[in-house]
Amino acid sequence: MSDTFEHEFGGQHTDIKLEIVEKYLKRYSAALHTWCDQVWYIDAFAGTGRRTVRVKAREGDLFEEPVPEQVEHRRGSAKIAIDIEPPFDRLVFMDVKPKHVAALEALKAEHPSRDIDVLEGDANKLIKSEIAWEGWRKTRAVMFLDPYGMEVEWDTLRRIAETKAIDVWYLFPLSGLYRQAARDLAKIDGAKERAITRMLGTDEWKQELYSDAPRPAANLLFDMEPVDVRQRNADVAGLEQYVQKRLKTIFAEVLDPFPLPSIERPQKFSLFCAISNPSKRAISLAQSFGGSIVKSMPASHHRTGR
Ligand SMILES: C[S@@+](CC[C@H](N)C(=O)[O-])C[C@H]1O[C@@H](n2cnc3c(N)ncnc32)[C@H](O)[C@@H]1O
């Protein structure tokens, strides 16, 4: 494997994430190709098409030989999408990193018969310029938003929703949000505040996620007046519910997210599926895909008590 494709990221949850998205893509492509002229896949944070996974060394014991660390190369989202049957009619891969773009070009060259576009640049800008066209009446697409962190801007999501033709899988960086949204509102500096607002599309989160803490008594000894403190009232589950509520303001439907990692805590991501097409058929199709994917996953990956 040439160095071009080397891309090490994520953890065990990455396998689950890609498994869920692959299952959806298979169902989506099969169903949509029965009536739609053009079915596309857009990967806005495409990576290299492959991922490098280090499998930890295992010490030997009485029964088993020790196993040294192994390096495996598995398929990333772009390659998974290329392999989907029936095939997508067009695939668009975007990435900001020139080295990753070179790897995506090499991946494209391995599939000369496929209609693949590789675009270099910031996903927010590229998505807005690429999806602004009149052809969405006869074309449907699935887009995968798989950033490292808080890169996806609300305005980008809004534009995607406005096409009424694109289903989005969005790996929402829940840990990024709970790290930036400190317990004490006063401790959030201007840059963090703007980053949260850019991601959630409103500054109302300051009212919705925070409330006045009980006022402490005045400190008579030092003649000090108590200071009002606003504290975050939403825990991790509350933040996730708030994000889902926000997404529902622009998308026709937002399925309950998959928590990732699914077993270990803290939860770091929420994998959302948002549907922009408001037709009953599109919504019930997405709901049934989502339901069957949940059923197909091991019970340990199911969400408990929400
Ligand atoms: C988590 S990786 C994506 C992995 C990919 N989905 C896979 O399965 O192989 C995130 C990718 O986003 C790219 N990236 C980071 N910021 C970006 C931006 N603003 N616009 C486009 N790509 C970006 C990174 O270079 C990296 O390749």
Q: Does any domain span residue 27?
A: yes
- Whether 137 is covered by a domain: the verdict is yes
Contact between 246 and 200 under an 8 Å Cβ cutoff? The reply is yes
Name beta bridge partners: 74: 51
pLDDT value at position 305? 46
Q: Is the CB of 151 under 6 A from ligand 1?
A: yes
Residue 86 · residue 29 · CB < 8 Å = yes
What share of the chain has pLDDT > 70, as a percent? 91
Q: Is the CB of 51 under 6 A from ligand 1?
A: yes
In a domain, residue 273? The reply is yes
Tokens 């494709």 correspond to: 5
pLDDT in tens, 157-211: 999 999 999 999 999 999 999 999 999 999 999 999 999 999 999 999 999 999 9
Q: Is residue 218 part of a domain?
A: no
- Looking at the domain assignment, is residue 205 inside a domain? no
Which atom of ligand 1 lies nearest, measured to the CA of 77?
8
Model pLDDT, residue 223: 66
Residue 77, ligand 1, Cβ within 6 A: yes
Q: For the domain that residue 127 is a member of, what is the CATH number? A: 3.40.50.150
Of 217 and 249, which is predicted with more confidence?
A: 249
DSSP H or E segment with residue 132: none
For 279, counting Cβ atoms within 10 Å of its Cβ (0-12 exposed, 13-18 middle, 19+ buried), the class is exposed
Predicted confidence at residue 254, as pLDDT, reads 97
User: Could you read off the pLDDT of 226-240 as tens digits, one per residue?
Assistant: 666 889 999 999 999
* Residue 151 lies inside a defined structural domain of this protein: yes
CA of 46 to the centre of ligand 1 (A): 5
Query: Between vectors from CA 293 to CA 277 and to CA 177, what angle results, nearest 5°?
Result: 70
Residue 275's domain comprises 3-173+253-301
Looking at residue 225, its pLDDT comes to 65
How many domains is the chain partitioned into structurally? Answer: 1
> Of 190, 232, 178, nearest to 209 (Cα)?
232
Q: Is residue 157 part of a domain?
A: yes
Q: What is the pLDDT of residues 262-293, one digit of tens each?
A: 888 889 999 999 999 999 999 999 999 998 99
Q: What is the mean pLDDT of residues 128-143?
A: 93
Give domain status of residue 187, yes or no.
Answer: no
Distance CA 81, CA 79 (A): 5
